[in-house]
Amino acid sequence: MDLGCGPGNSTETLLACAPHAKITGIDNSGDMIAAARKRLPEVQFELADISAWRAEGPYDLILANVSLQWVPDHETLFPALVAKLAEGGQLAVQMPDNLDEPAHRLMREAAADGPWRDKLKGVERTARYRAEWYYSLLKPQCASVDVWRTTYHHPLEGGIDAIIEWFKGSALRPFLARLDAQEATAFLDRYRAGLKTACTVLEDGTVLLPFPRLFIVATR
């Protein structure tokens, strides 16, 4: 099972690793599901929300690559996913772990410091838990739990504006969705000013964006 399969990138990797397995992918975007079906017509894809997914399994592998950070109530979600595994089956999760990074902190500061502050109250997602919390949650149900954190440094050409473009499709979306065009421009200007003080642009115009990610592999 590929939870939050998007256009099928991760599903294609699963298929290459296990060409004879029965693989299913779900996503809550109709456009993503359409793209995945076109890409991998031999795989079953369903339009569904992870938080409402009720299939019982058992599954040999449940993959959630950059998707569970959008789903609330991890204290019940993760044990429920493990319960759908076959004996020896694995839950493999990768999530951004960058809410404490300057790029995210400055979003929150920009949201709280402007005429739009009332509109943007409550936008910030609930902070995800740290590695030891997930380990303690999963270990009683699992034969083994591996948790690790890796920080990637993504080189972005275009300096500070490249960081803004990077997050427009993800972390900035909930903020911008509540603002009109004029407010959105002013908000991004405020955010851009903060980034200029926190980030170093190299001589060639490239900026390295630190991006920590949390990995979990839990075996039932």
Report domain extents, the chain.
56-219
- What predicted TM-score, i.e. pTM, was given to this entire model? 0.86
Asked if 217 contacts 92 with a C-beta cutoff of 8 angstroms, the reply is yes
CATH topology of domain 56-219: Rossmann fold (3.40.50)
Q: Which residue has the higher pLDDT, 122 or 166?
A: 166
Residue 127: per-residue pLDDT: 54
Q: How confident is the model at residue 187 (pLDDT cuts 50, 70, 90)?
A: very high
Q: Give the pLDDT confidence of 93-125 residue by residue, as tens digits.
A: 999 999 899 999 999 999 999 999 999 988 865
Q: What does the alpha-carbon distance between residue 157 and residue 208 come to, in Å, rounded to a whole number?
A: 9
Residue 125: per-residue pLDDT: 57
The mean of the pLDDT values for the chain is: 95
